[in-house]
Chains A and B, each alone.
Chain A
Amino acid sequence: SQQGEEDPQALSIQEGENATMNCSYKTSINNLQWYRQNSGRGLVHLILIRSNEREKHSGRLRVTLDTSKKSSSLLITASRAADTASYFCATFDNYGQNFVFGPGTRLSVLP
């Protein structure tokens, strides 16, 4: 099954800095989604970007999508300690039935 791969695996930054996480995938998609997971909890949907979109914003989040490179990035601006979490990208499998998640990026925002 196709799977997103996040990069880096872990990222540590100071409060106020920007955090960028990248995701690569293998096959064609019609949308890509980003999720957040606080430690020991379930995932929460952040944003969906369609394949015909190149960039999308939601509050302090900015997502880009480059279908020619099969990659996406998630930028969190002016990070806060509360942004500390793991972030996952997700696509659909080849049959369009299931969400397929990458291994995630663990973000630590230090106060």
Chain B
Amino acid sequence: DVKVTQSSRYLVKRTGEKVFLECVQDMDHENMFWYRQDPGLGLRLIYFSYDVKMKEKGDIPEGYSVSREKKERFSLILESTSTNQTSMYLCASSLEGQYTEAFFGQGTRLTVV
């Protein structure tokens, strides 16, 4: 059974804290993605990676960074959290090419207080 696993389902952090969101996939996928999902705004792409050590900015990269040291792992880093980063964070992976589907993790609900 293919899997994308996110390290936490729920997180509560204080403003200014550093947060690491980890995502691991076991499908040997080249592409990995981080989205955030907010009511009324749908899914917005933060960063994506199409290879180890490669990263590309998505639509809303400000306040975030990523790391992909190994093919199976893609980490999202919030250097100094703010309340407007309270959101659902979704990791996904896919094979190369456009006729492939995205496989999603279960999501991490981050609350910044």
Q: Which of A's residues lie within 8 Å of B, judged by CB?
A: 1, 30-31, 33, 35, 40-45, 48, 50, 88, 90, 92, 96-104
Task: Name the A residues within 8 Å of B43 (CB-CB).
Answer: 43, 88, 101
Contact check, A31 vs B48: say whether CB atoms are below 8 A apart: no
B56 within 8 A of A: yes
The distance from the CB of B48 to the nearest CB of chain A, in whole angstroms, is 6
Q: Complex: how many Å from CA A48 to CA B61?
A: 28
Consensus secondary structure, chain B interface: strand
Contact check, A42 vs B90: say whether CB atoms are below 8 A apart: yes
Contact check, B101 vs A42: say whether CB atoms are below 8 A apart: no
Q: Complex: how many Å from CA A96 to CA B99?
A: 10
Additional A-B contacts beyond A33-B102, A45-B101, A45-B102 (17; CB < 8 A): A30-B98, A40-B88, A41-B106, A42-B4, A42-B106, A43-B90, A43-B102, A44-B104, A96-B98, A97-B31, A97-B48, A98-B48, A99-B33, A99-B94, A101-B42, A101-B43, A103-B42
Q: Complex: how many Å from CA A91 to CA B103?
A: 15
- Indicate which residue in B4, B45, B109 contacts A40 across the interface (CB closer than 8 Å): B109
Consensus secondary structure, chain A interface: strand
The distance from the CB of A62 to the nearest CB of chain B, in whole angstroms, is 18
Q: Which of B30-63 contact A (CB under 8 A)?
A: 31, 33, 35, 40-43, 45, 48, 50, 56, 58-59
Q: Which residue of A lies closest to B45 (CB)?
A: A98
Number of interface residues of B (CB under 8 A): 28
Contact check, B41 vs A48: say whether CB atoms are below 8 A apart: no
Task: Name the B residues within 8 Å of A41 (CB-CB).
Answer: 106-107
Q: Complex: how many Å from CA A100 to CA B40?
A: 15
Task: Name the B residues within 8 Å of A50 (CB-CB).
Answer: 99
Q: List 5 A-B contacts (CB under 8 A).
A: A1-B59, A41-B106, A42-B92, A48-B99, A98-B45
- Indicate which residue in B4, B42, B56, B103 contacts A102 across the interface (CB closer than 8 Å): B42
Task: Name the A residues within 8 Å of B4 (CB-CB).
Answer: 42
Q: Which residue of A lies closest to B35 (CB)?
A: A101
Contact check, B94 vs A103: say whether CB atoms are below 8 A apart: no
Contact check, A31 vs B99: say whether CB atoms are below 8 A apart: yes
